[in-house]
Structure 1
Amino acid sequence: MENDALDDAPDTPDRRRVRRRVLIASVAGCAVLGGVLALLPWGPGEPRGASPAPGAQALAAVTSGVPAALPDLAVLIDEREARLRAHPEDFRSWAVLGAAYVEQGRRTAQPVNYPKAEKALRTSLKLRARNAEALDGMAALANARRDFRAARTWGEAALRADRTRWTTYPLLIDAYTGLGDHKAAKRTLDRLLKLRSGPAVRARAAAVYRDRGRREDAAAALSDAAAAARAPAERAAYLERGGQLAWERGDLDVALRHFQEAVRLDPDQRAALAGQGRTLAALGRTTEALNAYRVALAKQPCPEYALELGELYESLGLGQAARVQYDLLRERVRLAAAGGVDEELVLGLFEADHGDARSAVRRLRAEWRRQPGVAVADALGWALHRAGENKEALKFARLATDRERGGTVRSALYVYHRGMIERELKLTGPARRHLEEALRINPRFSPTRAPLAEAALKELGEPSVEDVPDMDGKAGRGERTGVNGRG
């Protein structure tokens, strides 16, 4: 090759002059290229340069839809606030500041960040109407607040402003999924895949695959995303999602490795710490599980973590410790509401199992009217069951679990809920099948519910002739007695 030939040539004064010129040109070219890369999101196949400063790293992350490290976000926020004090008409800096506040609030579970984010983003829009950066930020803010209708509105407005802006599409996928519109989520993913590739896109595709029951495809996409991620915080986020996917399918050792590696790469990855707690509890390593949950809650006090830890305490017979966590959950939900965050889903699940089931039904009916996603269908069905309204409960449990109705997520908890509702309705065959399926998906899906599923199966006993489908694939009499004739 030509370069090899140059390397083998005799060292002469002319050759040394050529080397100096090549070196000077190379350095100048790298300086120019580095300046360009600082302004553009990283993508697949783009060359890696020297590690940028923390603020630049966070800027690249928040403008390209990937997770950012918390210390870098703090630096970016300080930098943008300083710039805006000197240049208050800089609409792009207002948009970046708003997006950084959203990401900081999401990573820390501190809803106080969200009103600040909204103020910054609306200032950007006031300075420059229809700018896609601020519209994207408003969509991300609405998703973080679990206001999926608003997220859809903002995301669609961002696309009207700039249809080629690929970072809008993942925000819309989240919004459509939260609203239960899985066909729109799939169409949006297809458009995204035509526009862009890379780790962030693979991770978003994985979420859609998971929601459609394609767990192997989801795991492969997350593995590829983690391998291709540029920054530790980004890779840690994808590993955490991979761990959650492994947990859902009962691969506890795989899940634990993913969660541990995520925390090693990014000690602020508290979702992975909570995942460790969940997995260690299932493996019987209770002391380690309690410690992992406590650390996660100390830095990222999410209501769902408090619920999980409370239920773990309850399974250990530590009722007082469980009540402390349930009080924390209520307080976190109150603070979230003050920041505009909708936590009715987790509060409804808590009330159904540990509080006032009728209150849970009222809350979750209202949530279903606002955003009828699969998770809400499951929660409402379970709350109705706990309130004694089992026939209506089964309708929602079917929505959450029947492929024909959009419930393609393979969730042990959803299937367990359906099986227990069918058991109460004396639908013995369907109840047995669904409880067995829940334990097959993940035998240790909950420290409190998995033992209840096992006990219910033991009580149901072995299948009878009536529970065996006939040659046409239709169920026996034990199944045909269900609501609407469906099991």
Structure 2
Amino acid sequence: MNRVRRLLPLLGCVLLGCALLILYAPGGLLRRAEPPAVAAGWSPYDLAGSIEAAQAHLRRRPGDAAVWAGLGGMYLEQARRTSDAAYYGKAEGAFRRSLRGPTADGEPYIDAVIGMGALANARHDFAGAVAWAERARAEAPFRWSLYAVLTDAHLELGQYDQAEAALRRMLDGRPDLASFTRAARLERLHGRSGPARDLLHRACAIPGDPSEYAFCEWQLGELSWSDGDPRAALAAYDRALAADPGHAPSRAGRARAEAALGHTGQALRDYAAAVARSPSAVVEYGELLEHLGDTGAARRQYALFTAQQKLLAANGVTDDLALGTFEADHGDAGTAVRHLRAEWRRRHSVEVADALGWALHRAGHHAEAATYAARADALGGRNALFAYHRGEIEHALGHDGAAREHLARALAINPHFSPGGAKRARALLAETP
């Protein structure tokens, strides 16, 4: 990532000057791989309307591979915005229809290949995403969206050097919101909040769809939250919601920040509004309810999580990380370990290392848990939950000094990281000599 950081000061003068003249000039390199212009009357700001327009066009011209690929991409975006996993099947159908209808030169439509990679990422088939993106790179190496698929897949697989290499190609060719936000994620993984924040501010300054701006401000909010600043996080979430009132992750983030600031009633209302739009925050909502003593309401949120996971599985999404994390905290530790060992066989990210370590600890395998907890810290990131888990594991092993170190680090990074976890960390610090 140091190479990315050295690159950033040059982006303004080099990439936006010389590179754009070379790549975008008539006959330039990038012209050979640009996507086609969007048809008149279609708008990225009206996703539902654009889907209807694409469907109407395809009823008239069912062999248009380009529009089938575009429709697949819109279905994927609709899945992201609504958390409705049924759109994954629709996206796959559109992409595969595009692949069956070759372009004028007889080759598969390249956006459909890249779209299949993005779909694989959405379904947590990260190895499959790499395969699709590499196929696209072999055919159209200057189509920069393929590097977004590669970067995301390698990050999730825990292949951080490969992720950085793909991201560097993306930054070289297209310094935009998509590349800046991914660079910010890598900086965060390395614990470099300042550079991550600078990258996100650059991204937020780029004009675009209100939903893209909301996504960018939400990331700024998540960064402030992870750094232990709920007020700054709340301000960022509010900016995101001003741009896109239906942005569920920002609504959930707002609830989290409000709870940390003691605004419990508003936090509960915002959590309820967030999960009404997207079930992604139901466990977080349930944990706050449980912390407040409303165990019945908490169980209802946990049941909703279980139902959502069944729906995802029915639509081709296997999320052993989410299932294992939930079981470790709210279910059966042995089941959690099974889910997370399966996930570890597929990918070695720091998130999976932390989750597996925690599940092993909850199952009583503290020595093995410690090895995974150490791996979760390998990149040097500042993650309060990781530090707390490591402190609990060291405490279980009787390593009082190490336990105090990690528990204190967790609270120093973010004293509000979890309603129950932060309380437990303080209690352990008070009793640990």
Same-fold call, TM > 0.5?
yes
Which residue of 307, 325, 347 maps to 1:331?
Answer: 307
Which residue of 384, 389, 394 maps to 1:417?
Answer: 389
Amino acid at match of 1:292: D
Q: Percent identity at matched positions?
A: 45
Cα separation, 2, equivalents of 1:273 and 1:73 = 21
1:202/1:225 contact within 8 Å kept: yes
- CA drift of 1:160 comes to 1.1
- Aligned runs of 1:99-138 on 2, under 5 Å? 99-128=73-102, 129-138=107-116
Amino acid at match of 2:128: A
Equivalent residue, structure 2, for 1:440: 412
1:411/1:438 contact within 8 Å kept: yes
Q: Structure 1, residues 435-457: CA drift from partner, whole Å, max 9, x if none?
A: 11100000111111000000011
Amino acid at match of 1:179: L
Aligned to 1:194, the other structure's residue is in SS state: helix
Q: Structure 1, residues 62-101: CA drift from partner, whole Å, max 9, x if none?
A: xxxxxxx5xx111111111111111111001110011111
Q: Does 1:378 align with 2:354?
A: yes
Amino acid at match of 1:116: K
2:101/2:108 contact within 8 Å kept: no
Which residue of 33, 42, 58 maps to 1:56?
Answer: 42
- Aligned runs of 1:398-413 on 2, under 5 Å? 398-402=374-378, 407-413=379-385
- CA drift of 1:56 comes to 2.9
Cα separation, 1, equivalents of 2:424 and 2:339 = 26
Equivalent residue, structure 1, for 2:56: 82
Cα separation, 2, equivalents of 1:154 and 1:38 = 18
Q: Does 1:140 align with 2:118?
A: yes
1:391/1:425 contact within 8 Å kept: yes
- CA drift of 1:107 comes to 1.2
- Aligned runs of 1:64-463 on 2, under 5 Å? 69=45, 72-128=46-102, 129-302=107-280, 305-402=281-378, 407-461=379-433
2:66/2:98 contact within 8 Å kept: yes
- CA drift of 1:206 comes to 1.1
Cα separation, 2, equivalents of 1:40 and 1:398 = 49
User: RMSD of the TM alignment (CA)?
Assistant: 1.7
**Residues 408 and 154 of structure 1, relative CA distance in 2, 3 Å threshold:** farther
Equivalent residue, structure 2, for 1:473: none
Cα separation, 2, equivalents of 1:77 and 1:211 = 36
2:42/2:53 contact within 8 Å kept: no
1:130/1:161 contact within 8 Å kept: no
Q: Which one has the largest radius of gyration? A: 1
Structure 2: gaps spanning 5 or more residues:
1-33
Runs of 4+ in 1 over 6 A off after TM superposition: none
- CA drift of 1:38 comes to 11
Amino acid at match of 1:87: R
TM-score, normalised via structure 1 length: 0.79
1:282/1:446 contact within 8 Å kept: no
Amino acid at match of 1:434: H
Aligned to 2:205, the other structure's residue is in SS state: helix
- Of 431-440 and 200-209, the range deviating more from structure 2: 200-209
**Residues 444 and 212 of structure 1, relative CA distance in 2, 3 Å threshold:** same
2:157/2:349 contact within 8 Å kept: yes
Structure 1: gaps spanning 5 or more residues:
1-36, 42-51, 59-68, 462-487
Cα separation, 1, equivalents of 2:380 and 2:109 = 36
TM-score, normalised via structure 2 length: 0.89
